[in-house]
Structure 1
Amino acid sequence: MPRKTLRRFRLALPLFALAATACGPGGAASGGDTITLGLPVQATTLGPVYLAGDQDLWQEHGLTVKTVTFKGDAELAKAVLSGDVDVAVGSPTGPLTAEEAGQDVKVLYGGFDMTAFSWYAVPEIRNVAQGKGKNWGVTTIGSSTDLLTRFAAAKAGLDPDRDIKVVQGGASAARLAAMKAGQLQANIFTEPQTIYAQQAGYHKILDLADLVDSYPMHVTWSKAGFLTDDPGRAGKFVDTLSQAMQMTKDRPDDAAQSIAKANKISVDDARASMAEWIDQLHPDGRMPSAKAMDDFWQMGLQGKVFRHRLPDSQWLDSRFLPKTG
Structure 2
Amino acid sequence: METATRRMAAAVFAAAITMPATAHAQKSANEAVMAVPVSGLAFSLGYLADDLNLWQKHGIKVKTVQISGIGAMNSVIAGSTDFTQSSGSAVTRAAARGQRLLGIVGTINRPSAQIVLRKELAEAAGFDPKAPLAKRAQALRGRTIAVDAVNSVIHAYLRYIATRAGFSPEEIRVAVMQPPNMLAAFQAKQIDGLTMAPPWVHGPLAAGTAVMIASGPDGDPQDLWPFANTMVATKPETCVKRKSLCEAVGRTFRDAVTVLLDRPDEARALLKKRYAQFDDRQFDLAMEDIRKITPRDLLLSPAGFENAERFNIEAGLLKPEEKLKGYDDLFTDQFVR
TM-score by shorter chain over 0.5: yes
Which moves more between the two structures, 174-183 or 43-52?
A: 174-183
RMSD: 2.9
Name the residue aligned to 2:94. Answer: 98
Cα displacement string for residues 131-185 of structure 1 (whole angstroms, at most 9, x for unaligned residues) = 222222211112111111111000111112x322233223x22222223333322
Cα displacement string for residues 102-143 of structure 1 (whole angstroms, at most 9, x for unaligned residues) = 213222221322444321112223332232222222111121
Name the residue aligned to 1:211. Answer: 221
SS of the equivalent of 1:274 reads helix
Among the aligned pairs, what percent are the same residue?
A: 20
* Alignment check: 8 A CA contact 1:111 1:281 kept: yes
The change in CA–CA distance for 1:182 and 1:17 in structure 2 (over 3 A counts) is same
Cα displacement string for residues 12-59 of structure 1 (whole angstroms, at most 9, x for unaligned residues) = 89963249xxxxxxxxxx977001011111112322211112211111
Name the residue aligned to 1:49. Answer: 46
Residue 76 of structure 2 is aligned with which of 74, 80, 85?
Answer: 80
Q: Is 2:177 the counterpart of 1:181?
A: no
* Between structures 1 and 2, the one with greater helix share: 2
* Alignment check: 8 A CA contact 1:45 1:274 kept: no
Residue 237 of structure 2 is aligned with which of 225, 241, 253?
Answer: 225
The change in CA–CA distance for 1:121 and 1:158 in structure 2 (over 3 A counts) is same
The one-letter amino acid paired with 1:227 is: C
Name the residue aligned to 1:25. Answer: none
* Alignment check: 8 A CA contact 2:229 2:308 kept: no
Name the residue aligned to 1:319. Answer: 334
Q: Is 2:176 the counterpart of 1:168?
A: yes
State the aligned residue count.
302
SS of the equivalent of 1:124 reads helix
CA distance in 1: counterparts of 2:244 and 2:44, whole angstroms: 24
**How far has the Cα of 1:289 moved from its partner?**
7.6
The change in CA–CA distance for 1:129 and 1:15 in structure 2 (over 3 A counts) is closer
Matches within 5 A, 1:30-41: 33-41=30-38
Unaligned runs of 5+ in 2: 18-26, 128-135
SS of the equivalent of 1:16 reads helix
* Alignment check: 8 A CA contact 2:107 2:298 kept: yes
Scaled by the length of structure 1, what TM-score is found?
0.82
SS of the equivalent of 1:49 reads helix
The change in CA–CA distance for 1:111 and 1:76 in structure 2 (over 3 A counts) is closer
The change in CA–CA distance for 1:111 and 1:15 in structure 2 (over 3 A counts) is closer
The change in CA–CA distance for 1:114 and 1:277 in structure 2 (over 3 A counts) is farther
CA distance in 2: counterparts of 1:195 and 1:226, whole angstroms: 38
Name the residue aligned to 1:253. Answer: 265
The change in CA–CA distance for 1:318 and 1:33 in structure 2 (over 3 A counts) is same
Residue 286 of structure 1 is aligned with which of 287, 299, 323?
Answer: 299
SS of the equivalent of 2:156 reads helix
Scaled by the length of structure 2, what TM-score is found?
0.79
Residue 14 of structure 2 is aligned with which of 3, 13, 16?
Answer: 16
Name the residue aligned to 2:24. Answer: none
* Alignment check: 8 A CA contact 1:113 1:288 kept: no
CA distance in 2: counterparts of 1:13 and 1:225, whole angstroms: 27
**How far has the Cα of 1:288 moved from its partner?**
5.7
The one-letter amino acid paired with 1:303 is: A
CA distance in 1: counterparts of 2:262 and 2:196, whole angstroms: 26
Name the residue aligned to 1:27. Answer: none
The change in CA–CA distance for 1:147 and 1:15 in structure 2 (over 3 A counts) is closer
The one-letter amino acid paired with 1:186 is: G
Residue 309 of structure 1 is aligned with which of 323, 329, 336?
Answer: 323
Residue 255 of structure 2 is aligned with which of 237, 240, 243?
Answer: 243
Q: Is 2:145 the counterpart of 1:136?
A: yes
CA distance in 1: counterparts of 2:208 and 2:297, whole angstroms: 38
CA distance in 2: counterparts of 1:273 and 1:306, whole angstroms: 31
Name the residue aligned to 2:275. Answer: 263
The change in CA–CA distance for 1:223 and 1:263 in structure 2 (over 3 A counts) is farther
